A = this chain, B = another copy of it.
């Protein structure tokens, strides 16, 4: 495990590497999208300019470099995964009827649902087109698998909305689908381009999958602690939408059976008042269930750490290790 007593140090390694790579990542995102038709481009620019942490392209680059790949042609593949992620967000925000994305108005609010649906389709296709240009069918195959897993995870999440009997297993199944597979594919594509053997690709996938699960668990913790000012999303949004994420599951296990029955019934019927929602959020914070949730993320980060062992010592391996600490300690 990385030394969790020194998160700042580890984050600096990551921050420095990100600062070095970000201009090239953003330039490549511009290069691959600037020829889109004028009816499509503004929406795509809106989504991409809203920012985001670009952690997926960074992971593709890091994994390829850590496996000894030095060529510059890694960048288009790296941003292809970011395009998939953006496409997925475009469609998600419609499903969730989310008004904000990273603090800015969601694309479907500005451009309408039709544009957002079709814009997402175009970004999915553009990502596949970029992957196909590498003439390595495993890349396209991996992207296709990731999209199928992601969309299926989202369908499962919708099917289990406001179902208070959701199990821990189902919760993990949902977040693995909707978040972790896309982070897995970022690492996987880096390993494929670097020419890794089956064992190396399996390790890269396992790193991405576990990192991705932990990333989403921490995201679900942040939903109860981070305000719109920091995260760009409203506090307790998951609770309001009826998503039974880990902090809420832990909360229901903590309160008295009588209270649990009442809260579960109201959650199932979407009958909690704003005041009652506020009380639940406050109690989850006071019980430090966000911290307990982060601790659960640690289990998956330990698994991710193990998969890095076979990589040779190199700056990128250090950054991948610091990535694990970033996921655990991030506050937005």
Interface set, chain A 18-76, CB cutoff 8 A to B: 36-37, 39-40
A43 to chain B, nearest CB (A): 9
Q: Which residues of chain B come closer than 8 Å to A91, judged between CB atoms? A: 117-118, 121
Q: How far is the CB of A218 from chain B (nearest CB, A)?
A: 24
Q: Are B113 and A94 in contact, CB atoms less than 8 angstroms apart?
A: yes
User: Please, which residue of chain B has its CB at the minimum distance from the CB of A146?
Assistant: B125
Q: Mask for A2-16, Cβ within 8 A of B = 1, else 0?
A: 000000000000000
Interface-facing stretch out of A135-143, A197-205, A252-260, A271-279: A135-143
User: Which residues from chain B contact A148 at a C-beta distance below 8 Å?
Assistant: 122, 125-126, 129
Q: Whole-angstrom distance between the alpha carbons of A135 and B124 in the complex?
A: 20
Known A37-B156, A40-B155, A159-B39; judge A144-B129 contact (CB<8 A). yes
Contact of A95 with B by CB under 8 A: yes
The answer to the question of A133 belonging to the interface, with a C-beta cut-off of 8 Å to chain B, is yes
Q: Which residues of B contact A137 (CB under 8 A)?
A: 132-137, 140
Question: How many A residues have CB within 8 A of the partner chain?
Answer: 45
Let me know if B152 and A40 touch, CB within 8 A. Answer: yes
A153 to chain B, nearest CB (A): 9
What chain B residues lie within 8 Å of A126 (beta carbons)?
A: 144, 148
In the bound complex, how far is the Cα of B147 from the Cα of A138, in angstroms?
Answer: 20
Contact B132 A147 (CB under 8 A): no
As a 0/1 sequence over residues 181 to 206 of chain A, the CB contacts with chain B under 8 angstroms (1 = contact) are 00000000000000000000000000
Which A residues, 197 to 243, have Cβ-Cβ distances below 8 Å to chain B?
A: none
Indicate the member of A134, A138, A145 with the most B CB atoms within 10 Å. Answer: A145
Taking the complex as formed, is A318 at the interface, i.e. its CB lies under 8 A from any CB of chain B? Answer: no
Evaluate contact between B158 and A143: CB separation under 8 angstroms: no
Q: Tell which of B40, B122, B140, B159 touches A128, judged by Cβ atoms closer than 8 Å.
A: B140
Q: Which of B39, B125, B141, B155 is A133 in contact with, Cβ under 8 Å? A: B141
A152–B119 Cα distance when bound, in Å, is 8
Is residue A114 contacting chain B, with contact meaning CB distance below 8 A?
yes
Query: What residues of chain B lie closer than 8 Å to A117, measured between beta carbons?
Result: 91, 94-95, 117
A131 to chain B, nearest CB (A): 7
Contact B114 A158 (CB under 8 A): yes
A280 at the interface (CB under 8 A from B): no
When chains A and B are docked, how far (Å) is the Cα of A156 from the Cα of B119?
A: 12
User: Could you pull out 25 A-B pairs where Cβ atoms are within 8 angstroms?
Assistant: A37-B152, A39-B152, A39-B155, A39-B156, A40-B152, A94-B114, A94-B117, A114-B155, A114-B158, A117-B117, A118-B152, A122-B152, A124-B124, A124-B147, A125-B143, A125-B145, A125-B151, A126-B144, A128-B140, A128-B143, A128-B144, A132-B138, A132-B141, A133-B141, A137-B140
